[in-house]
Amino acid sequence: MEARLQNPATTLGATQPIQEMYKAVYSGGVSRTTLDLVHLRASQINGCSSCVDSGARGARKAGETEERLFAVAAWRETSYFTDAERAALELTEAATRLADRSDPVPDDVWERAAAHYDDKGLAALTLMVALTNFFNRLNITTKQIAGAWG
């Protein structure tokens, strides 16, 4: 396999502004663990092998367990996740699958997340989902290779 193109953000010199956005995400008060799970789940939904690979590796390096990483795709059917993580994962799925229903992020989904996260936390979760979807689309379109970054 070979990528069609180097990552467009790198090609156009846009990595610094993107890093600033990630810095903002990590300043929102949501745990790194939860943000890693959000990234992994959105990447699984979108089928971005590069982001699933890098996301799982990064989460593992940060101390995430194999059991939880393996179970992210089936988070509803496991007892591995806290109520706050479940709310974040539910919000992630809704915000990633925008075309699946007429009200993509229903009030009840938002309210479950808001029960665990303040405005900064909700902003961090929303921005992480958006950034993940952004990179999923870049990587899938340009056929970035899983594991190519080490």
Tell me: the pLDDT tens digits for 82-139? 999 999 999 999 999 999 999 999 999 999 999 999 999 999 999 999 999 999 999 9
Q: Which of 7-11, 14-18, 36-40, 50-54 has the lowest mean pLDDT?
A: 7-11
pTM of the model: 0.93
Residue pair 63/72 in contact (Cβ under 8 Å)? The answer is no
Tokens at residue 101, please? 């229903």
Give dist(CA 73, CA 60) in Å, integer. 16
How many of the other CB atoms lie within 10 Å of CB of 104?
13
102/48 Cα distance (integer angstroms): 25
Give the other-Cβ count within 10 Å of 29's Cβ. Answer: 13
Amino acid identity at 32:
R
pLDDT at position 45 is 97
CA atoms within 13 A on the CB side of 3: 16
What is the model's pLDDT at position 2? 84
- Indicate the angle between helix axes 49-61 and 32-46, nearest 10 degrees: 160
Distances (CA, A) of 29 to 40, 43, 62, 118, 120: 19, 22, 17, 9, 7
